[in-house]
Amino acid sequence: MTIALPLISRRRLDRQRLQDAAFRGATRLFAVGVLVLLGGIVVTLAFSAAPAFERFGWGFLTSAAWNPVKDDFGALPAIYGTLVTSAIAMLIGIPVALGIAVFLTELCPPPLRRPIGTLVELLAAIPSIIYGIWGLFVLAPFLQLTVEPLLIDTFGQLPIFGPLFDGPPLGLGMLTGGIILGVMVLPFISAVARDVFLTVPPMLRESAYGVGATTSEVVNNIVLPYTRTGVIGGVMLGLGRALGETMAVTFVIGNAHHIRLSLLAPGTTISATLANEFTEALSKLYVSSLFALGFILFVITFIVLAAAKLMLLRLEQQAAK
């Protein structure tokens, strides 16, 4: 037995089907467009970097040379500086950002949560070149006159940590670049951590406080285990930001194509090298070497994000058991 629908209802259903089909097609087109754009970027980088890899081979990754006059190039100093400054940024940014998120969700008075949270998020709106200018004219002199001499006189005298703080206090170096990056990743990590902390069911918090748990015990045993997947995602978001930052680091890292164990010594990163030297590249091999650095940075970022995704999937599987 079939029920005849009114003409208006059938027209409405037909219109909804068309709208659903158009919506599915548009979203599929957007997704495919992103993949095509990403593939185009990868192909362009690989094609432009091919002459450098053909000339230097795998030695391009392990060579510390950077001599445009002789067309002798190597990526190791830039890779080393990128990884070291990003590691410093994470060591500074993660605990501070998580501390901000914990304060805003657990300890801050309710009337102050929104204003303080907004101020922290505004750090992400500051242009990177402003961070660079601030680092060059404010942070670097402060570190040169106060922090770096203290590090040299204390940690620099220890047998294990001494080489990390060897040399004169220049103010410009990988430590300064790492600190700048640490400040820049704060709003990203703290915003994600705060949002995922708010997803913890109030019943869990209230139950923990009801049995006599302190705030630190609630955070360590309830909040962080419940939200660890989201927190790791926020940390990886901040790490991706640190790996790709350009102008702020260019101002304060010293831009020296050398590998020094000391964190106080000048260095360079892949992004800083590209920003400094792309307009000066004259020879074809020079330009290709810069494209090769960009391709390497893309691969590093892809590996980091892929590892983060695998880690999140593993954590979700463990939580489901």
What's the pLDDT at 136?
Answer: 92
Of 66, 93, 50, 116, the residue nearest 245 (C-alpha):
93
Which regions of the chain does DSSP assign to beta strands (E)?
Answer: 66-67, 72-73
Mean per-residue pLDDT of the chain: 88
Specify whether the CB–CB gap between 260 and 144 falls below 8 A.
Answer: no
Q: How far apart are CA 176 and CA 186, in angstroms?
A: 16
Lowest mean pLDDT among 7-16, 69-78, 117-126, 176-185: 7-16
pLDDT tops 80 at residue 316: no
- Portion of the chain with pLDDT greater than 70, in percent: 97
pLDDT at 2 over 60: no
Q: How long is the chain?
A: 321
Domains of the chain are 59-320 (1.10.3720.10)
The tens digit of pLDDT for each residue in 258-301 reads: 888 899 999 999 999 998 888 888 889 999 999 999 999 999 98
Cα–Cα–Cα angle for 308, 299, 277, nearest 5°? 130
* 221-266: pLDDT as tens digits: 888 888 888 888 889 888 888 888 888 899 999 888 888 889 999 9
Tell me the average pLDDT across 215-225: 88
Q: How confident is the model at residue 1 (pLDDT cuts 50, 70, 90)?
A: very low
The amino acid present at 66, given as its one-letter code, is W
State the DSSP code for 167: S
DSSP string, 189-239: HHHHHHHHHTTS-HHHHHHHHHTT--HHHHIIIIIHHHTHHHHHHHHHHHH
Contact 132, 250 (CB under 8 A): yes
pTM: 0.87
